[in-house]
Structure 1
Amino acid sequence: MSSATSSTGRHRKAKPMSLAVRRAFIVAAVPVTGALLSAPSALAADKSTKATTTAQSVTADGLDPAEQRIAENLNTRAQSPNLGDTFSGIVLDSASDKVVWGHDADTALMPASNAKLATATAALTVLGPEHRFTTKVVYGDGTLTLIGGGDRMLTTADLTELAKTAAAGVKLGGLDSVKVRIDDSLFPEPTLATGWNDSYYDDQVSPVRSLVVDGKLSADTSIDAGKVFAQQLADQGVTVDGEVTRGTASATDVPVGQHLSPTLSETIKKMLKKSDNDIAETVLRMTALGAGRPATYEDGTAVVRDVLSRHYGVSMTNFEIHDGSGLSRADRIPARTVADILDLLTDPRYRGLLRSIDEGLPVAGEAGSTLGPEWGRFDTPDSQCAVGQVKAKTGTLTGAIALSGLTKAEDGRWKVFSFIENQSSADPAATKDTLDGLAATVNGCWA
């Protein structure tokens, strides 16, 4: 395994922000409180004090002693046969942007769910962290229509409140029965993304619609939500005539009620902690709409590329995505690009806007996240010493395993890392253990 230990930065130049984005920054620039190992303020301090922090004692090749140990130990651990022959990795120093270590860092591989980092960054930039999605109920011609607004956090309890409001209105109008219809026309008819196959609908993701309740995985989340709403109406004493149907609300229909989702920040945090594919695909479409484009895979991913390149100066060389979740087997992103996206979290200009990404990253050993003990993560001698010290986004597909995140190294400086493996013949669990060990190495623990 070769290593890149040049102290030269990557010369990423941030592009000028549009007026809308600048306004979003102003709105979003609030103080950051301390989540577990989530310290954007400390990261920002690293960035803002480059002139002093880079004056430390360094070795001849530009690395300080702690970084030299990282590079040497990664060279050793990256020899593991669990990584196979197709492996891309990089470690950056967040303050100086220098490359501490790298191996085929510009090789574009299947990123799996690491692609969600790109989706989250674009969504927060276009829509803003405080954006909320609206689910509505309208009435017309004897029919109550439940209108989907892209809220992936909608619950049965939320629909119950909407049903109570709607039932009160129906009764006030002297009616005791209505028809129920769902309107999910905000998104086009669901299709498979490039690189998807039908089997994904069994257990990986639902056909992407703008209406869903309780995050249910099903063939028709909109009709399912309509049925829950109809049942809640019945519980309020309103008879529902016939089956729930699909249609488009009329412009003359009367508003009856609406529900606002949690903020986009909260949605993003859940998406990353759980690696929720359905949230990612819905957020991708809402981002496209927010940018004035149709709610499609193609337009959503075009917005992602535009935001990353124009607003943040992230290179799109060898960058190819076809969905928001990373399920596509046609997606390709180099480890260097994933690291560059994560490195935005360490920039004080963006900490208010993007902090929910930082807070949403699973922490090593955090139960309930994709790095929790229930998934067998950070539980080997190579990685146990880094429990609570590494935060990273996981990624898993057949033939693709990734782990990219941040950790504070022995020199007290934040390091950004990305490790992506494709097509290893090893047991996937063993490959994950190896990647956990690499992340632990960046932290500085060495069993």
Structure 2
Amino acid sequence: MSDMADETPTSTFAPGGRHRHRRTRQPSTAVRRAVVLAMAVPVASAALAGTSAFAADKDTTATAAEGATTAVQGDGVGTDDARLVANLDARVLDQRLGADVSGVVLDADSEDEIWARNATTAMMPASNAKLATATAALTVLGPDHRFTTKVVYGHGTLTLVGGGDRTLTSDDLAELAKTAVAGLEAAGLSSVKVAVDDSLFAEPSLADGWNEGYYPTEVAPVRSLVVDGRSVEDTSLDAGKVFAEQLATAGVAVDGDVIRATAHRRDVPVARHKSAPLSDVVRTMLKTSDNNIAETLLRVTAVEAGRPATFEGGTEVVRHVLSDRYGVSLENFEMYDGSGLSRADRIPAVTLAQILELLTEPRHAHTLGSVLEGLPVAGEAGATLGPEWGRFDDPNSECAVGKVRAKTGTLTGAVALSGLTRTEDGEWRVFSFIENGSTAAPNDIKNAMDGLAATVNGCWA
């Protein structure tokens, strides 16, 4: 994943949730955090649609913080935690990480903040932003939600209607075409026009912090219709052409070029395809850090919440869900896209840790379980912490292979690693580490990050 040009941030949603304060074993005015107060009543889509819930009453701006560290001290401190703190204090100063580094480690079981450094500082999170996107999508849509692609017929035209399924394949379109052809033949029709309807989403646009160089290599223009995850400028027309070719192969003549049109409500339903559950889609997105899936989920979440299917509408819902549904702190939080490609995004380490801490609470297991399952595992081939990416293969971090689950994030000038691990006693440790601006080689930065995660696990003691 590479970065492009910076753009100026705009005003953002201000946190409105309630919070209770986490115990810190050494109180510090430099670093404070609010912990989760998760309401037991699930969020209904209608509740998210109210405009009052999204009223922004102030701007949040990125702030620079001193390199203060709050850590475990005092009576009752375990030897392992004391060693962890001492090691992190030393290892966070690794020159490979640069001077602008933040982090936090939470004990999810005791509700203690074990260690923190600049934890509330606004940082560019890169793909760690996908944690916020996934949490909002699962909460608003539900883990069992399936994306529907339809074919309807009217006035001599078959219209392929996109429903935001980023996992739609050529084989899926072939099944839709087969069903459509059977219907046409039964009606005595041997030719048809083909159109695509991708009106579910607003016109593709660039998020703040993006530029046109992102299209289509880093991310395709966000449309509600795509086949085989192809990165092309117009994924909808591309899918329509594939569908038209399959119709022709099945013996139905296609009259003219594929066009873009809006299906009429009186059009006759012909065929439909449903995707795998959202929980499966989220797992795939996180394992591979798929930018296109993330941006599509942001739009569909906005639609379900009754907001415009835009970057602004989607991130508005994300803020509302994190703050009002789960009580996650949005101090110094700025989000302009769903993937973390935006160089205007700012998410403090403590916010990312609070999102991950939700995964340790049994009451959220049904809704958010696929986030935990989707986090890459240290040393897992085929995911972003796999050996093919050179992760956790350093002598200091290889001890954590199979023991750490974490989301990666990489842009030029920003590397993040946020995740969870368990102690030998089975206690959850939640962590988030972010560096911005290091001039070290990317692999060197990642090795240093992996070492911090191994330290949290306790295997690099």
Alignment match, 1:160? 174
User: Matches of 1:133 and 1:435 in 2, distance apart?
Assistant: 36
1:414 and 2:428 equivalent?
yes
Identify the residue that residue 227 of structure 2 maps to in structure 1: 213
Contact persistence 1:6–1:61 (CA under 8 A): no
Q: Give the one of 294, 298, 303 matched to 1:280.
A: 294
Q: Which residue of 309, 313, 322 maps to 2:323? A: 309
TM-score by length of 2: 0.86
> Is 1:108 the counterpart of 2:122 in the alignment?
yes
**Partner amino acid, structure 2, of 1:358:** L
Residue in 2 aligned with 1:297? 311
1:16 Cα offset (Å) = 3.4
1:396-433 deviations in whole A, cap 9, x for unaligned? 11111000000112443110000001010101111011
Q: CA deviation at 1:79?
A: 1.5
Stretches of structure 2 lacking an aligned partner (at least 5 in a row)? 1-23, 47-71
**Runs of at least 5 residues in structure 1 that lack an aligned partner in the other structure:** 24-57
Cα RMSD for the two superposed structures: 1.9
Partner in structure 2 of residue 12 of structure 1: 35
Answer whether contact 2:43 2:139 (CA < 8 A) is retained. Answer: no
**One-letter amino acid matched to 2:35:** R
Is the 8 Å Cα contact of residues 143 and 278 (structure 2) preserved in structure 1?
A: yes
Structure 1 residue 6: deviation in Å?
3.2
Give yes or no for contact 1:5–1:71 (8 Å, CA) kept in 2.
no
What are the within-5 Å matches in structure 2 for residues 15-94 of structure 1? 15-18=38-41, 20-21=43-44, 60=74, 63-94=77-108
Which residue of the partner structure matches residue 367 of structure 2? Answer: 353
Match of 1:324 in 2: 338
State the alpha-carbon separation in 2 of the partners of residues 304 and 272 from structure 1: 17
Task: Name the CA distance, whole Å, in 2 between partners of 1:252 and 1:370.
Answer: 46
Deviates more, 1:144-153 or 1:227-236: 227-236
Structure 2 SS opposite 1:301: helix
Checking the alignment, whether the CA contact within 8 Å between 2:45 and 2:304 is kept in structure 1 is: no
Offset, 1:338: 0.3
The one of 327, 339, 350 equivalent to 2:353 is 339
Provide the residue aligned with 1:134 in structure 2. 148
Alignment partner, residue 96 of structure 1: 110
CA distance in 1, matches of 2:166, 2:75: 49
The 1-side partners of 2:286 and 2:26 are apart by 32
Q: How much has 1:142 moved relative to structure 2?
A: 1.1
Task: Indicate whether 1:431 and 2:445 are aligned.
Answer: yes
Structure 2 residue matching 1:420: 3-state secondary structure: strand
- Aligned letter for 2:372? D
Partner SS, residue 431 of structure 2:
strand
Contact 2:404–2:457 (Cα < 8 Å) also in 1: yes
> Could you tell me how far 1:12 is from its partner in structure 2?
2.5
Counting aligned pairs with the same residue, the percent is 64
Is contact 2:197-2:260 (8 Å) kept?
yes
- Residue identity in the other structure for 2:408: T
Determine which of 173, 177, 187 is the counterpart of 2:201. Answer: 187
Q: What is the aligned partner in structure 1 of residue 376 from structure 2?
A: 362
What amino acid does structure 2 have at the position aligned with 1:16? Answer: M
Deviations 1:270-318 (A, max 9, x none): 0000100000000001001111111011011010000000010011110
Structure 1 pair 321–180 and aligned structure 2 pair: CA distance change class (3 A): same
Q: For the Cα contact (< 8 Å) 1:7–1:63, is it kept in 2? A: no
Q: Secondary structure at the match of 1:293?
A: coil
CA spacing shift, 1:61–1:297, aligned 2, 3 Å: farther
> 1:162 is matched by which residue type in structure 2?
L
Q: State the 1:11 CA deviation.
A: 5.1
Q: Which amino acid aligns with 1:241?
A: D
Normalised by the length of structure 1, the TM-score is 0.89
Q: Is the contact between residue 34 and residue 329 of structure 2 (CA under 8 Å) also seen in structure 1?
A: no
User: In structure 1, how many angstroms separate the alpha carbons of the residues matched to 2:405 and 2:41?
Assistant: 31
User: Cα distance 1:189–1:423, how it changes in 2: closer, same or farther (>3 A)?
Assistant: same
Q: What is the deviation of 1:163?
A: 0.3
Q: For residues 110-259 of structure 1, what are the structure 2 equivalents within 5 Å? A: 110-259=124-273
The yes-or-no answer on 1:392 pairing with 2:412 is no
Q: List structure 1 runs of 4+ shifted beyond 2 angstroms.
A: 4-13, 15-23, 58-63, 409-412
